[in-house]
Structure 1
Amino acid sequence: MRQTNYDDQTDLHERIEALEAYDIMDTPPEPEFDGIVQIARVICRTPVALISLVEENRQWFKARVGFEPCETPMAGSVCQYALFSRELLEIPDLTADPRTKDNPLVTDEPFIRFYAGAPLITPDGIIIGSLCVIDTVIRPEGLDEEQADGLQALASQVIALFEARRLSQRKDDLFRRQKGITASLRSAAKETLAAQEAGGVGTFEIDLTRNELRASPEFYRIFHLPPARSYPTSVFEKMVFPDDQGTQSTQANRADGSAALDVEYRINTPVGLRWISRTATFIRGENGLPVKMIGAVKDVTVTRRAAARIQALLDLGDRLTQLSDIESMASAAADLMAKALDATRAGFGIVDPVNETVLMQPQWTAPGITPVTGLHHFRAYGSFINDLKIGNPVVIPDVTQDPRTAANAQALLDLGIRVLVNVPVIDQGNFSLVVFVHHDRPYQWSNEEIAFVRSFGDRIQAAIARVRAESEQQLLHREMGHRLKNTLSMVLAIATQTLRPVKERQYVEAFERRVHALSTAHDVLFERNWSSAAIVQVMERTFDRLSVRDRVVLQGEDLTFGPKGTLSLSLLLHELTTNAIKYGALSNTTGKVVLRWYLTGEGENTTFHLDWQEIGGPPVHDVDKAGFGSKLIKMGLGGTGKVDVRYESSGLVLRMEATLHQLQQAEH
């Protein structure tokens, strides 16, 4: 057992950091936590149950029953002593214990006398508070074994709910982050596309009869050729990138009958691929055939690539929302990024920083380029991982010249890598993902392109984190559902043992059925992350559990209720159905129930109406006016009390109503 000291600053700092990570302090009440303290009070048979979280100078209650204050100063805290151990803390007589005998809650109102607290321990082993029960009478024997086990099981459930809540918040943050990135991209798009291409215009004249080109000095600079009196046109034809699908051309007839030729195409220069915009006109001879072409060219690589980068980022946002697995996300992103950068290979790798390895995901490659999918060791290709680990992007214009890769250059060249760009993606302080872009020829990188690659990395990392968060949340919800079923089973076992002396077994059986009804409602809520449940699904599962689904007619459109509305609906339907099976239309083989619901009003004044009508059963009357079931029915949906019950000759007719907003809200 690990002993902790409340005055130890390390433990205090760890606890404060854990509470900040959960972002739970001073949040509004939530039904799932309220339900846990209710169960704890029932199991331990105490008037008070609390979920207590301990900060430096106060303890705050996330959920409480039987205790009015929402927090107390440390002078009034008994829960601070639950931080000492990972075991259940029990103090049978608070007036006799030296730690608590002078506590103001012991010496004054409400004069508490007994305390039992199960520590709330995070997955990292940090105790942040306790789930406790309190009594106003001394209990020398404390809790029995089953009560102690139940309280500790519920404490584990509290932590599971905290983890689910944290994952849900993280997923929401990721969605907001992606939305913000898209908004900034669209703003940048307007500015970039409005910018004009820097640089001059080169003029040229081609003698088509001699296949000879003469041009201005700016023309030769654009094509990265030394100035000369003339060049054969074949020199320029060889520079045009083959099979270029990006070439765009338009032709229009001029008023004088000559044809204007406007083209954008890529050329392969000593400094890499460039985009050229050309405007030209044919000069025709006496026979009407073209003899010359005159025109102008301009290097539009910067503008073309800027527009391509922005469009790629916008397209990425659209495509990522449609994908749900890491492999397809990486493949889609790599395809868009590579084409925007004229790369020969591009993609993403999942990093193991401890072993200094990277698992390359499926990537985009140009024709004739071999993929590098699979596991690779960073050190086999140089020392640039040292920069990646501290979050710095690596841009290597020539792997044979850079000191980080020169000694391993041949290994890179064998993979067709002449130019190497790696951008690390840091997630929660960890180097988790690397974005890579390769060229097999020289390429002039700009700061804007480095930022573009980083943006791609951030977006794919956010999307991957979202998918993982959703997967973890689904797994956690399944585990929470399993734990809740175990907890409810424990409650049933404790109740069965506690109520064993009760001779009226029908009351014990009714209690068990109601717990099962709660379990059914919780199952449906967990399928939607506890935020809501479809009422038709709640109805059908309730009737299926009682084996009467084929005898109930459902009439109404499907709606969703929040947790409180769902639990209320499930319990009401359970009571009505069991009563109908015992005394009403479902007690014979011919009767049936018609369940109809509808809405009236608009906006916040929308009212939900639920009508229960039994047909074909024996005459009915109020058989249990003082029973819990009847009281529950008379409380109505959500406890509104708006219920009209009629015992007519054709069968029971019951009408209930409540505001739709009240039934759909997520919190109390």
Structure 2
Amino acid sequence: MSEAQIKDARIRSLMATGILDTEAETAFDDIVRLAALVCKTPIAVVSFVDTDRQWFKAKIGLEVSETPVEMAICRHVLVCDDIEVFPDLTKDPRTTGNLLVTATPSLRFYAGARVDSPDGVPIGSVAVIDTVPRPEGLTAEQSETLLALARQVMAQLDLRAQAARLKDGEDRFRAIADSMPQMVWSTRSDGYHDYYNARWYEFTGTPPGSTDGEGWNGMFHPDDQDRARALWSRSLETGQPYEIEYRLRRHDGVYRWTLGRALPIRDGAGQITRWFGTCTDIDDAKRLAEERELVSQELSHRIKNIFAVISGLISLSARNHPESKAYALALRDRVMALGRAHDFVRPHSKASQPEARAATVFALLTELFAPYDGAGGMRISLVGDDIAIDDRAATPLALIFHELATNASKYGALSAAEGHVAITAELTGDDYRLVWRETGGPTLVGPPAVEGFGSTLSKVSVEGQLGGTLTREWLPEGLRVTMTAPANAYRRPNRFT
């Protein structure tokens, strides 16, 4: 680098420290006192070399606070490795013409240790000065002390840089937090609330600082306060994320449903240092969801009634047209199976909600097999992996297994007293496989000559609605049906989260 480039780099680094023209600080004043005491000199300074001046951050035994850069003996220290010593300033060609030497205060001895900026650029020195020559210079102990004091100056500069970065980070955080639509808050590791952003005070209308500590809980609806405090205490004890819905009092006194969330911040040792959280007004969304749920329940109830009406119409048609009775009854049974599947997964109100049950494959099949002897027990068994389902999978499952059970009771294993059906389920990787196996029924001699409507309907349901495959094996001991489909086809992701 050229001399000009070196100077530019030095000035940039010096400016970045923000040290120039700052008020006196005890830490720096103590450094020059100790330097003068140990080196036994009347003058000691902490100086920095600016563009056209030498500025003293701390000084003892010297009246001026700065000098022109041409008079700065410190600038010669910037190019040394550690300490630069001038035993007699009148005899060194670099300083013989310096006005600080030739005129008042008539300096004669100088020793300086270089000071670097936090980014490693020489910007100043810690120096001891005398008005009489010192041919012996400094002792080894004095030199080591001067170097140590220079390191202390650099440590102070680094602390200032860290503090500046921290303040800048805090300012950035506050600017970001205040620009967010959510209410943002923070607590100490013990859960003491000590920060809220502008949105919190705008929403609640409370004076700044009034909800610090435990004051936040009083802003909740009385019916939600104990629950919120219990959940928050549990998160503080376990370190688990905090999430809750509660009613928060707005500035006009109206309670609004709010989603509260918080996550812990941990240090390198895994200890929680702070909690950061948000409050999101979800009142409008929650009320809209409730309205949609009511509409969904009403539509679902009407669909259930439609199944009943269709089943009734089919039965009536069967009575009026005896020649179509077999077909009509089979169609009615299929419609009723679909109705049971729909009722199993449809939205319910509190009044229509059946007894608690899990929406799973096994639960649905158990309900479908209820009309058959030994449902889910002696004659039809369910073993293996059970998975959750929703309405997407309920319809094809109801059609497929209704057809299998119906045919088994007419022609297969369930038509014999000792017959049995075993259903096994296995979750392998991304696929879910169901195997229907009949035993104890009439001996099979091969597949039927013509594939029935029910078999075709079952295959179409698996391939079209679940994106899977269905195979049949006509074994002598009984029918074996294997149905394989992606596990995620049985339930929409994040439906209940």
Shorter-chain TM-score range: 0.3 to 0.5
Point out the structure with max Rg over C-alpha.
Answer: 2
Determine which structure has greater relative contact order: mean sequence separation of CA pairs < 8 Å that are 6+ residues apart, divided by chain length: 1
TM-score, normalised relative to structure 1: 0.32
TM-score (norm 2): 0.42
